[in-house]
Amino acid sequence: MNKVIHTDKAPAAVGPYSQAILAGNTLYVSGQIPLNPETGAIEATDITGQAHQSLTNIKNILEAAGFSLNDVVKTTCLLADVNDFAAFNAVYAEYFSENKPARACFGGNDIPKGALVEVEVIAVK
């Protein structure tokens, strides 16, 4: 049976979805935009700060489910502006330095709440 994962250390869903779903030994984490979970607002104005917040939200959801960044096997990254690719990669590499997951990264997206980045992951134990 699937289990809904929720933590107050990541923003509440801004729509009809869960932060994550655990299905067997696989965790599906919904796309995380750079909302500060304490304020519900996007506080960083640049791609670097927003990437850190989105990936911190991911990390906190993974930990709430008993997973870590090292368990991530696939990421999908959405950038509002593909010109932010290099700056985003620099932050991304800080979070995925050991086991680099498979990844797709798309630019030119209209991301909810005017965010510059959204990241979703799949992790397996």
According to DSSP, the β-strands at 102-106 and 72-79 are: parallel
Candidate list 105, 107, 111, 122, residue with the active-site label: 105
Instruction: Count Cα neighbours of 102 within 13 Å in the Cβ-side half-sphere.
Output: 5
Longest dimension (CA), the chain: 42
| 105 annotated active-site | yes
Residue 64 token pair: 């709430």
Of 40, 56, 60, 62, nearest to 112 by C-alpha is 40
- Catalytic annotation, residues: 105
